Amino acid sequence: MGFTVYEIAQLIGGEIIGNAALQLDSLCKIQEATPGSVTFLANPSYEKYLYTTQASAVIIDKKFKPAHPLSASLILVEDPYIGFTKVLNKYQSLLNTPKIGIEEPNYLGNHVTLGEGIYRGAFSYIGDYVQLGKGVQIYPHTYIGAHAVVGENTIIYSGARIYPGCQVGKNCIIHAGAVIGSDGFGFAPQATGSYQKIPQIGNVILEDDVEIGANTTVDRATMGNTRIQAGTKIDNLVQIAHNVEIGKNTVIAALTGIAGSAKIGDSCVLGGQVGVAGHTEMGDKTMVAGQAGVTKSYKAGNITLMGMPAIERKKFLREYAIFRQLKNLFSATKSS
Amino acid sequence: MGFTVYEIAQLIGGEIIGNAALQLDSLCKIQEATPGSVTFLANPSYEKYLYTTQASAVIIDKKFKPAHPLSASLILVEDPYIGFTKVLNKYQSLLNTPKIGIEEPNYLGNHVTLGEGIYRGAFSYIGDYVQLGKGVQIYPHTYIGAHAVVGENTIIYSGARIYPGCQVGKNCIIHAGAVIGSDGFGFAPQATGSYQKIPQIGNVILEDDVEIGANTTVDRATMGNTRIQAGTKIDNLVQIAHNVEIGKNTVIAALTGIAGSAKIGDSCVLGGQVGVAGHTEMGDKTMVAGQAGVTKSYKAGNITLMGMPAIERKKFLREYAIFRQLKNLFSATKSS
Amino acid sequence: MGFTVYEIAQLIGGEIIGNAALQLDSLCKIQEATPGSVTFLANPSYEKYLYTTQASAVIIDKKFKPAHPLSASLILVEDPYIGFTKVLNKYQSLLNTPKIGIEEPNYLGNHVTLGEGIYRGAFSYIGDYVQLGKGVQIYPHTYIGAHAVVGENTIIYSGARIYPGCQVGKNCIIHAGAVIGSDGFGFAPQATGSYQKIPQIGNVILEDDVEIGANTTVDRATMGNTRIQAGTKIDNLVQIAHNVEIGKNTVIAALTGIAGSAKIGDSCVLGGQVGVAGHTEMGDKTMVAGQAGVTKSYKAGNITLMGMPAIERKKFLREYAIFRQLKNLFSATKSS
């Protein structure tokens, strides 16, 4: 498989400086690039690699002025990162054609609705009354409980589990081992000290274009829905508790936990290992630094939070600076 | 499926104010309730919803005095939360009858002991010498290793793994993807810098009425047992290391890690993302706030811990207040 | 199964004080030992148990001088922990012979290369062009994607998932539910506020003697490799992001997250729930305390880090001490 510099420039709407006919056969990071590859430069701190890279072509910002002479051909674009992503997508679509067809053995319940062009891997389990849209790819060992719905072109990787009655939108990707719709963690303390399980009769709704990472868990609602809105991307090993609602185009990094009934807005970004307390509300465009613990609501959004308990970033950094000054003052007093 | 207000009042021993013959067909939260539904009011901060809810009936504290007129019928009880939970249980028992019977294909080893009324889902794997009590439900893709024992009426959801020789009590629930009995994390450093694996020849014992969340892991003991006592409830994505012992009726929230040989008492409550250091001991009725790191023993119990390293809550809040005062003092000094 | 004291002394090169002919039939911890068992004493804080243990034999440091008379036979060695581990290994090798043979049904793709003496459990899935070395043990419900390679004598427990194209070395152990090769978490923000998935066309390489804990996730590289070098041991529920590189003989405890493109050196030890920021570099022999957040590079290594943001341990403890003094000073000022 290969592209010419010309073909790539055509694909991403770029302007060529150098040899348009050059043949390229791989995609690399700039610091690891091999001859015959195409790479990109988006982050200015990687500019140093530009002058030594072995890549044959570099996708680069059209406003960029090189400080030294270059051996690679350049493809000038508005946004090199988006441009390179387009090439990656093209490359992957040539490599990975969608899986289709039925492997045996598999289990298919009664009253199942199946769209066209579906893949059902060996040992996949599709319960009664399940609806699978066209082009759905169900990898081996996947479990889809009764009455669940999976939208068009969604990919469910090996060993993911969709509990009964849950709904997954179109063009979603659910990675291996993810669990959608396990019981919410709700127990009523009894006078004896033991706990009685509170039935969890709600469900989970994942809207379109949602990605769920490997071994991530999304609990069903006690009543009503746990809902993740369109375009939201969730990393590996994240816990989403019962009745949580997450807005559109929000990104949540690995090992984060969102406790019960919390509401997260649109276009938020949560770092890794963040904790969000139950029944709190986080407005749109909230950023949360890794390991922060959000213990109360920040409904207005448009804020960056850090620390445990999480406070506004500016405040956090100011307090940290004051602490350092106090410390120095104290050390000076002692030594004087 | 439906209940009358009268039937619900009978079920939970409540007194009716309003229309006893009213037909109810769903259960909702008070702020989301639809006409024809029954809801409850337990948390006083939700009282505002009582005057606008569309629910047809509300389960409520018998000592409650409404501040405004109400349209819904009331069912008066001692504890509205417990009362509503009873209704939820009744509703769920009508909806979800226990699964029973054998789906094909499945794998059944030799010398297996099977109680009556068992469900074994497609692609479930039951190793040699396994014992399954009556009414056990084994969902698809579940793995039960040789010589494991599962008590009566326990439910093991899809893709849970019970390693050989582990014991699960009666009336337990193990959610999808949970792993019980993987090797403890023990390695002996060698002179060369490499690590030699220490064989993990112990097992895991889960007593009766234990619930284990989705993708939670419980490691087998190096020698002896990792033990979780009766009535303890563990959320999703929790790590329980080798030789940990957890008492009765303890509750552990998601993403918490308990390191090797730690002992946790009865009736403790651990928040999300808590870390507990190895070989520490935590007495009965210890509460640990989310994200706290418990680095030493608190054997006496009856304490609330916060922070990293975790200290008593009162002390933590006092130190935090002093820090704030110091900061203000310092800021005042600078601006004066 | 049993050993005499003499046989154990032979096995571990120890000297006997007491009855060499004594028959031993189990291995225990010193504080839980039963008559007829062998145990060991390595940690001086457990010496108190030595005088009351019911063990029949104790493996002990040859320089140790007992403070009180002992009933157990002693086996004197240079390093009692390593000695006892040898006995454990011997015991386990007698108990657990490697699994071998094929259980039905299972799925075997085309063009698969199979070594001798392989175990393939029921419902295991081996994709096209997979290569399995001799003595590989594939437990039930395991998924090995197309073109993956698994080296000699590696054990893959139930329900682990190896995505297509990933490489696992010799003598590795991959525990239940682990996911190797899921997509890296990479998305390009679009002008509309939505995210476009960046194809993840790299892979994962696990070198020889690596152990991966239950439900741990290791993402494939965007381009190139996510690589874990020989002898590294990773606990349960750990997240290793795309393009991470981890050196040799490094140990990582549960619930730790390593963000994208981070580099971890050789012989590091990371505690539980540690977070490591993306694109940082950690030198050889770095120790990181549990729950620490490593936000920048420490390339020189040979350092112990604590806190969030993580700083050198000595510095952390000094600052903590100063804070305590400040607090006392402040309290004194107020009460004077």
Give me the pLDDT at residue C244, please: 98
Sign of the Cα torsion B15, B19, B23, B24 reads negative
pLDDT in tens, B42-58: 988 999 999 999 999 99
Where is pLDDT greater, at C243 or C330?
C243
- Whether the per-residue pLDDT at A336 is higher than 50: the answer is no
Q: Where does residue C63 rank: exposed (0-12), middle (13-18), buried (19+ CB within 10 A)?
A: exposed
Rounded to a whole number of angstroms, the distance from the CA of C182 to the nearest CA of chain A is 7
- The residue-averaged pLDDT of C186-200 equals 92
Separation CA B204–CA B181 (nearest Å): 6
Q: Please, which residues bridge with residue A239 across strands?
A: A217, A257
Residues of chain B with pLDDT under 50: 336
Residue B331, chain A, CB below 8 Å: the answer is yes
List the Cα angle C294/A30/A23 in 5-degree steps. Answer: 155
CATH for C101-316 (2.160.10.10, 1.10.287.610, 3.20.20.10, 3.40.30.10): 2.160.10.10
Which residues of chain A have a CB within 8 Å of the CB of B158?
125, 143, 145, 161
Quick one: C3-95 is in which CATH superfamily? MurE/MurF, N-terminal domain (3.40.1390.10)
Query: What residues of chain C lie within 8 A of the CB of A231, using their CB?
Result: 194-195
Confidence at residue A235, expressed as pLDDT on a 0 to 100 scale: 98
* Token duo for residue C62: 């040859």
Q: What is the mean pLDDT of residues C179-197?
A: 94
Confidence of residue A47 (pLDDT cuts 50, 70, 90): very high
Q: Give Cα C72 to chain centroid, integer Å.
A: 33
Residue C85 contacts B where some CB pair is shorter than 8 Å: yes
Confidence (pLDDT) at B93: 84
pTM listed for this prediction: 0.93
> Is the bond preceding residue B105 a cis peptide, omega within 30 degrees?
yes
List, for residues B125-144, the tens digit of each pLDDT value.
999 999 999 999 999 999 99
Best residue in A112, A197, A319 to probe B by mutation, most B CBs within 10 Å?
A: A197
Show residues of chain C in contact with A255, CB under 8 Å. Answer: 239, 255, 257, 275
A175 assigned to active site: no
What is the Cα–Cα distance from B94 to C240, expressed in whole angstroms?
Answer: 44
pLDDT above 70 as % of chain A: 96
Residue C335 pLDDT greater than 90, yes or no? no
- End-to-end CA gap in chain A: 73
- Cβ atoms of residues C91 and C97 within 8 Å: no
**Nearest-angstrom CA–CA distance, C30 and C41:** 7
Question: Residue A288 and residue A290: Cα distance in Å, rounded?
Answer: 7
Contact by Cβ (8 Å): C40, C27? no
Residue linked to tokens 């099977």 = B114
Contact A268, A285 (CB under 8 A): yes
- Least trusted range by pLDDT, from A264-268, B25-29, B135-139, C176-180: B25-29
> Using 50, 70 and 90 to split pLDDT, how confident is the model at C336?
very low
The answer to whether the CB of A151 falls within 8 A of the CB of A171 is yes
> What would the two tokens of residue C186 be?
């990479």
Q: How far is CA C266 from CA A328, C218, C224, C290, C313, in A?
A: 36, 18, 20, 19, 20
What are the pLDDT digits (tens) for C289-305? 999 999 999 999 999 99
Question: CATH 3.40.1390.10 in chain A, residues?
Answer: 3-95
- The CATH 2.160.10.10 portion of chain C extends over 101-316
Mean pLDDT of chain A: 94
Residue A150: beta bridge partners? A132, A168
Which chains are adjacent to chain B, needing at least 3 Cβ pairs under 8 Å?
Answer: A, C
A-chain residue closest to B247, CA distance: A194
Q: Convert A120-156 to b/e letters by CB count within 10 Å (16 or more is b).
A: bbbbbbbbebbbbbebbbbbbbbbbbbbbbbbbbbbb
